[in-house]
Structure 1
């Protein structure tokens, strides 16, 4: 692997794990299995041959670096979304309980908000196990119950 990395550094390539071929047979196999573009960019194996020898044919698609960048952006947006949803899930019931200060309103708001939180977590938490959902819902309910206790005095 270090040899491949050193070889790509000499050639000026950025990703040492791009799938390439210098052979006409490899080109034909990739073309026949529709792994390379069939547009004007690359049609025949003769276009692969370069004046200094054979030019490698690179499979279409982004490199691993581009993929990692996309994954990082997706994770960032997921964290932002989860932060906003978590904030709304806590702030909305608290606002309702502050604006309508009756014991029935606070208990109903806490109950409904906890059930909605549990349902949303169960539906959207694809990688969560049952015990993880239970722990998160218990923590959420505890925060709301503390707020109910503090606001009733």
Structure 2
């Protein structure tokens, strides 16, 4: 689901409504986009480049649980109270992205139930996918041999 991209999940005409709220941003390689536990008040749709999502593991270095690339949603924590990042993110390669203010998108969604539903369904799929990825990656790193999903 997530590899198809956000815009593929939106009904016709809604892409432009969402993009009207976008701001073009760039992140050089090595830039921390957000930190786990920080305030989640925005999100991005990656245009080019790659971002690593990582998870703090006490007593160890952060574990990269997934990478996000072109067309994909970067950040979903803005949608769910308490609106704090559940993961951290760092640009692996230079990134160009559209940045969205969460409050502005939520206001648009309140006025447009079709967009609201499509974005919510897509984001729920992203959350599920990332949860499975985090679980598998942590089992690969720290669990008994063979406890992760088959490759």
Q: TM-score category by the smaller chain?
A: under 0.3
- Comparing both structures, which one devotes a greater share of its residues to strand? 2
Bigger-Rg structure (1/2): 1
TM-score, normalised by the number of residues in structure 1: 0.21
Q: Which structure is higher in RCO with an 8 Å CA cutoff and minimum separation 6?
A: 2
- Comparing both structures, which one devotes a greater share of its residues to helix? 1
TM-score, normalised by the number of residues in structure 2: 0.22
